[in-house]
Structure 1
Amino acid sequence: MALLEVQGLQVALQTQRGSARAVRDVSFTLDRGETLGLVGESGCGKSITAMALLGLLPEHAQVSGSIRLDGQELVDLGEPGLRALRGDRIGMVFQEPMTALNPVHTIGDQVAEPLRLHRGMSRAAARQEAIALLERVGIPDARRRVDGYPHQFSGGQRQRITIAMALACGPDLLIADEPTTALDVTVQQQILALIRELVAERGLALLLISHDLGVVAQNVARLLVMYGGSVVESGPTAEVFARRSHPYTLGLFGARPRLGGQRGVRLATIPGTVPELPELPPGCPFAGRCAFTIAACNDTVPPPVPVGPGHQARCIRLDAVAAARQSGVA
């Protein structure tokens, strides 16, 4: 049995234009020590998928399908049960280090809070453990700075503090949602290196959410490419990168800046924009923006089709896409 099993996850959000499906039939598994990435443009459903795992969706959201943690069903578990898991068995690193911390509480109190809540530690014991955690994530002079407030720390240090909070109770699963947002490149690499070290050191399962293909390539063994709330391509990261099969995946790779590229040449772009949730087509969510679109693409959502070892893509025109890729057209 895998640590985390997600089957047929559907999330519908209430909008001013009615119910809109934000996550569509997402399925994956993740075991201890494994790393999985979710990649795609903003608005493709990555963060909503993560929030569904934690039961942190907007009010009136409707969730169906199955989310099992060590065999325990989390869908419809109820707030008390979910609250017992958050910060204990599931740790979360939120995407904005500048706002993820409470500005009116010391960082020591915030790191110690899950220890007192889930482990029943005394204030003094939790404080000592918080200092140790802050030292582990690289906060200099942690014993003195434990009583500091978030505004007294840099963006990179705040992100390290949120990682300490997420790891305080030794979770089985760590979810990192765009953990390098708003950080400069050097600090980004330090934060990602720290997460890799901690995952290896503690045997955690890691779910890493990012729009950055380079970040995903360096940090996860398996990959889900999401668009329009659906997983359009999935598989081992090296396999997906080497044999990009879905037109959306090809578009993401084509839009990357390249070292040594000719000056003044525009980057390739994906035509159009990500549609609003209520405007997603009933068939393939990428229909219309895709150069391979035919009438049948608008009818039904394509099933996942094997294209390599553990590698699947949802597209009814995979042969045409493969031919275009091999000829250098796509």
Structure 2
Amino acid sequence: MSTLPPPSAPPLLQVDDLQVRLPVAGGMAAAVRQASFSLRRGETLGIVGESGSGKSLTALALMGLLPEGAAVTGSLRLDGAELLGRPDADWCRLRGNRIGMVFQEPMTALNPVHPIGRQVAEPLRLHRALGARAARSEAIALLERVGIAQAAQRFDAYPHEFSGGQRQRITIAMALACAPDLLIADEPTTALDVTLQRQILELIAGLVRERGMALLLISHDLGVISQNVDRVLVMYGGSIVESGSTQAVFEHRAHPYTRGLFAARPQWLGPRGPGTRLPTIPGTVPALEDLPPGCPFAGRCAFTLPDCHAGLPAARRIGGQEGQEHHARCIRLGAVAASQEAAA
């Protein structure tokens, strides 16, 4: 975990009321609703939630890479400059330069018909105007930095000639080529074994500290989030249902959805004992077009009241120490807390 920047430091990234709507049969559906957060240089922020919660769409909005037909509103500022509404040419100057992204599937992120060295060198030539020889030299150094053995000899090799872990290291080298201010890592350890997962996460953390970047780490793995970020956002149904410092959210889970996620974690011969079934969250994740108009978790939640369907709840502050800010979108936080105390 990185050392937090001073509280007075201005945000590098400021997201306010971000809303993303996608075309579906019969109209447009809200895929991200009223997302607001900030990120300062040197800070690490995690987004956690199950598949379909809006994590990757939020990241794609930050990169200006939303699917065709998507409608986005709100405010997205980088160093105070508004990005939403800018032409594609402006986004192209930002992507790979000031904002880098490590995608969750390296084989689709890498072009199979181009050598990996050419792909790592490309942002250096585009954004830093390096010549072919200088870009090659810099790309080899980057590949060596991320742990690709014999980088000079393998510069002209193709993606299929590398293992999954090596391909992920290559995508990290591409994302870091121009020393971006913000690095977005979207499930960077998907399908990797535990040893490789640890190596990749340690590599990313070391490079973030070394270069003073801000990191946005997206994962469905609570263990990965707990060990690698300063603050965390919990998403469900396109909404940030809980947010705060990692310590505050993990120690004082306030939203019913967050509690359900933690309860469903597999535990090796944990307090439940062997042979017992894991708790599950009742119901299923609704399709985008079927999300309730109010709290997205309404209906699956044991605390649901009619008022929960009336509108998206405001984020309510939960008590905590300085630097331990903690918010949750729920109108029944008192009842949830009381049930926790009764169960303790």
Same-fold status (TM-score > 0.5) = yes
Residue 236 of structure 2 is aligned to residue 221 of structure 1: no
Which SS does the other structure have where 2:152 is aligned?
Answer: helix
Which SS does the other structure have where 1:145 is aligned?
Answer: coil
Specify the alignment match of 2:243 in structure 1.
234
2-structure distance, mates of 1:51, 1:95: 12
Specify the alignment match of 2:298 in structure 1.
287
Residues 276-312 of structure 1: CA deviation (Å, up to 9, x unaligned): 1110001100000101111111111111111133100
Residues 160-213 of structure 1: CA deviation (Å, up to 9, x unaligned): 000000000010000000000111111001000101100111100000000000
Specify the alignment match of 2:219 in structure 1.
210
Residues 223-263 of structure 1: CA deviation (Å, up to 9, x unaligned): 00001111000000011000000000000000001122322
1-structure distance, mates of 2:155, 2:232: 37
Which SS does the other structure have where 2:45 is aligned?
Answer: strand
Residue 129 of structure 2 is aligned to residue 120 of structure 1: yes
Which SS does the other structure have where 1:312 is aligned?
Answer: strand
Residue 29 of structure 2 is aligned to residue 20 of structure 1: yes
Choose which of 190, 203, 206 in structure 2 pairs with 1:181: 190
Which SS does the other structure have where 2:23 is aligned?
Answer: strand
Matches within 5 A, 1:5-16: 5-16=14-25
Residue 96 of structure 2 is aligned to residue 96 of structure 1: no
1-structure distance, mates of 2:138, 2:122: 11
Choose which of 56, 66, 71 in structure 1 pairs with 2:80: 71
Q: CA deviation at 1:325?
A: 1.2
Specify the alignment match of 1:299 in structure 2.
310
1-structure distance, mates of 2:196, 2:109: 17
Q: Determine what percentage of the aligned residue pairs are the same residue.
A: 68
Unaligned 5+ segments in structure 1 are none
Which SS does the other structure have where 2:285 is aligned?
Answer: coil
2:112 aligned partner, one-letter code:
P
Specify the alignment match of 2:330 in structure 1.
315
What is the RMSD computed on CA atoms of the aligned residues?
Answer: 0.9
Q: CA deviation at 1:72?
A: 1.1
2-structure distance, mates of 1:326, 1:185: 35
Matches within 5 A, 1:54-69: 54-69=63-78
Specify the alignment match of 2:38 in structure 1.
29
Q: CA deviation at 1:266?
A: 0.8
Q: CA deviation at 1:79?
A: 0.3
2:316 aligned partner, one-letter code:
V
1-structure distance, mates of 2:205, 2:269: 29
Residues 3-39 of structure 1: CA deviation (Å, up to 9, x unaligned): 0000010111111231000010000000100000000
2:76 aligned partner, one-letter code:
I
1:228 aligned partner, one-letter code:
G
Which SS does the other structure have where 2:109 is aligned?
Answer: coil
2-structure distance, mates of 1:256, 1:68: 36
1:264 aligned partner, one-letter code:
G
TM-score normalised to structure 1 length: 0.98
Specify the alignment match of 2:161 in structure 1.
152
Residue 342 of structure 2 is aligned to residue 327 of structure 1: yes
Q: CA deviation at 1:68?
A: 0.2
Specify the alignment match of 1:191 in structure 2.
200
1-structure distance, mates of 2:84, 2:160: 37
Matches within 5 A, 1:256-275: 256-261=265-270, 262-275=273-286
1-structure distance, mates of 2:50, 2:206: 27
Specify the alignment match of 2:173 in structure 1.
164
2-structure distance, mates of 1:235, 1:14: 32
Residue 255 of structure 2 is aligned to residue 246 of structure 1: yes
Q: CA deviation at 1:40?
A: 0.3
2-structure distance, mates of 1:242, 1:263: 25
2-structure distance, mates of 1:274, 1:117: 42
2-structure distance, mates of 1:170, 1:318: 42
Query: Is the deviation greater in 300-309 or in 179-188?
Result: 300-309
TM-score normalised to structure 2 length: 0.94
